[in-house]
Amino acid sequence: MSSHPIKIAGPAIRAVDPWLPGNPVRGERHQLLSDEERAQLAKISSIVRFKKGEMIYELNAPAEASFNIISGVVTAFRPLSRKREHITAFLYPGDLFGLSEQGCYVNSTRATTAVTAYRIPLQAMRRLLSRNADLDVDIIIKLCDELRQAQRHAFLLAQKRAVSKVAMLLDLHEHLQRANGLPASDVYLPMDRSAIAGYLGLSLPAVSRAFRTLTARKIISFRDRRHAQILDRKAFEHLADAPE
Amino acid sequence: MSSHPIKIAGPAIRAVDPWLPGNPVRGERHQLLSDEERAQLAKISSIVRFKKGEMIYELNAPAEASFNIISGVVTAFRPLSRKREHITAFLYPGDLFGLSEQGCYVNSTRATTAVTAYRIPLQAMRRLLSRNADLDVDIIIKLCDELRQAQRHAFLLAQKRAVSKVAMLLDLHEHLQRANGLPASDVYLPMDRSAIAGYLGLSLPAVSRAFRTLTARKIISFRDRRHAQILDRKAFEHLADAPE
DNA sequence: CGGCCGGTTGAGTACAATCAATTCTGGTGG
DNA sequence: CCACCAGAATTGATTGTACTCAACCGGCCG
């Protein structure tokens, strides 16, 4: 232990606390697990790496493990008939994924950037869970977090105007960056346009046009394809918050 | 105890098991809590009743309790500017609701029918959770269930054609009835058309037209406003499953 | 009997999908 | 280092579908 100054503490689960109002900072996601818990999890986990674009697991495959992201971005999606896919979520460091229903994964996942993650076998996880009440509570908190995310996603999808959807996506990512303590002077979008389209329930051209509209109206501007700045906060929030 | 032949066991949480393949019956939601756990929860809960249409709690109010439905249907929603609202979920017996973020509710809820429910104070719940690892696991299972539901809802909302959305709604409710062991010869929709519109992200006229289209094509028929039958299973699944 | 609420139907408009052509970008090999 | 290529992204023209607004039905209650 002490022979290694840089210690890998084990899985990290980060979420906004559902109970405490502002802990430690309003809206900030914080590390839920104690060092003790992380060590326990580390004992049953392995570290895996995925190259950009690599599949992590496929829909309906037998679920053998959950994953906890250390670095990189993962896209969770449901393949549709042809070249289309419905994107369920973008997952970031501190997130947990690999949900199953009756032993099978309920979506497919792919590394959107290079990814390193803890791989936590389900068997071991279950065993650990039934022995450790504190760990359970942390997982519950995280699941509540993901549930709220999914509900926000649904809310976004219920919007009709493409510009609103796009604005809400930017808003989500800005919040996310802030919640992770990163500077949010510009919004970084690690995924490509077609992934955005899949997440927003729009066609790829529609995404492009929506971005164009927003830049034309001087509401946002693009430093490059993946870095956006919000220029007109007022107009932006009007679109992203309560769209008509 | 024994003096009362009809005993109220306490909260019931029903969900599809994420791990066991088919337990007890493929796709069936089963009771997660042991009698022991239900008794523990019962001790810290009270039973509350709500009239049809009554608000249960409001968005952003301080969250003091979670609820577990005994009977009736609850609508969770997010109020929008005017007469509109985005409906997050319809909740049925065995469901758990009253999620909070930093101490406040993240949506509003209203009784859609007369409702009876357990009211579980959060403080007591937290205390109980941190002492009981088995109970935690059950709650985790339930949250996974709700998370999948939310993701299905998002998937539904990503569909573009109104008939697909409506078909998926019927499909969801048929599955739900089946999962609860009810006969599913016809699909019962306990909510009114405008609630359906709010859930599907459509205007009220669009819902009406979609139903009309489906009946005109002899894919479904209505026994009455709230009871639908699926006539052409093939065509129905084609719309509800992999649209396009 | 009349009004009200939930629901349906109709006409016109707006917005995004589609299909297709074009430009931009990043990566590769000469 | 540059030329080139392939995939990503943008733009354009047309079509379709759902929205809006508004009128109309039908049951329920006073």
User: pLDDT per residue over B196-209, tens digit each?
Assistant: 999 999 999 999 99
Which of A125-129, B120-124, B133-137 has the highest average model confidence (pLDDT)? Answer: B120-124
Check A151 against B17: CB less than 8 A apart: no
Nucleotide with the nearest C1' to A162 CA:
C16
Nucleotide with the nearest C1' to B244 CA:
C17
pTM: 0.93
Strand positions, DSSP E, A29-83: 30-31, 46-50, 55-57, 65-71, 74-79
**pLDDT tens for residues A186-221?**
999 999 999 999 999 999 999 999 999 999 999 999
Check B81 against A133: CB less than 8 A apart: no
Q: Which range (B79-83, B106-110, B176-180) has the least confidence?
A: B79-83
pLDDT at A4 over 50: no
Please state, rounded to an integer, the average pLDDT across all residues of chain B: 90
pLDDT average, residue stretch A50-54: 93
Q: Which range (A18-27, A170-179, B119-128) has the least confidence?
A: A18-27
Distances (CA, A) of A45 to A111, A119, A138: 19, 5, 17
Which of A124-133, B99-108, B207-216 has the highest average model confidence (pLDDT)? Answer: B207-216
| DSSP at A205 | H
pLDDT at A243 over 60: no
**pLDDT tens for residues A83-121?**
789 999 999 999 999 988 889 999 999 999 999 999 999
Question: Scanning every residue of chain A, which has its alpha carbon at the shortest distance from the alpha carbon of B26?
Answer: A102
Tell me, what's the pLDDT at A25? 64
Query: Using a CB-CB distance cutoff of 8 angstroms, which residues of chain A are in contact with residue B27?
Result: 102
Give the pLDDT band (50/70/90) at residue A181. Answer: confident
pLDDT average, residue stretch B64-77: 96
pLDDT at B244 over 50: no
Tell me, what's the pLDDT at A76? 97
Tell me, what's the pLDDT at A2? 44
* Contact (CB, 8 A) for A198 and A205: no
Query: pLDDT > 70: what percent of chain B?
Result: 92
Reduced to 3 states, what is the DSSP secondary structure of residue B228?
strand
Tell me, what's the pLDDT at B94? 94
Q: From the list B103, B143, B160, which residue is nearest A144 (CB)?
A: B143
**pLDDT tens for residues A6-41?**
556 899 999 988 776 655 566 788 899 999 999 999
Tell me, what's the pLDDT at A8? 63
Tell me, what's the pLDDT at B8? 64
Distances (CA, A) of B161 to A60, A88, B114: 26, 19, 33
Give CA–CA dist A31/B65, Å, rounded.
Answer: 25
